[in-house]
Amino acid sequence: NLLLRAQVTRELRRHLEERGFVDVETPLLTRSTPEGARDYLVPSRVSPGEWYALPQSPQLFKQLLMVAGVERYYQIARCFRDEDLRADRQPEFTQLDLEVSFTTQDEL
């Protein structure tokens, strides 16, 4: 249901931003990474023979954000996995990705 999805993402953003999280967006076209599922590949028009991969998940960028000093971030990320269809898997999905640095157990 589109209205329910909009309401849930609005409340997630409100809740996280009230707690000091920054909403980030990571690239959709990236290099292929050696993870479990196969990547969807997108050919490069400007570099023949080169390919981009659609991200399986945004974890690739976590370390860059932390090194850059972003201590609390989240994103509602589109993810893509080229896998055989099963009842519990979809080739395209949305996931909430969030990271916190230097936190205490009470904050969690």
pLDDT tens for 15-44 read 999 999 999 988 888 777 776 667 788 888
pLDDT > 90 fraction of the chain, expressed in percent and rounded: 24
Res 57: pLDDT: 67
**Structure token digits, residue 106:** 């009470």
Residue 55 and residue 28 in contact, taking contact as beta carbons nearer than 8 Å: yes
User: Which residues fall within 8 angstroms of residue 2, CB to CB, at 6 or more apart?
Assistant: none
Non-local (6+) Cβ contacts of 67 within 8 A are: none
**pLDDT digits (tens), the chain, 108 positions:** 899 999 999 999 999 999 999 999 888 887 777 766 677 888 888 889 988 887 766 666 777 888 888 889 999 988 777 777 777 777 788 888 888 888 888 877
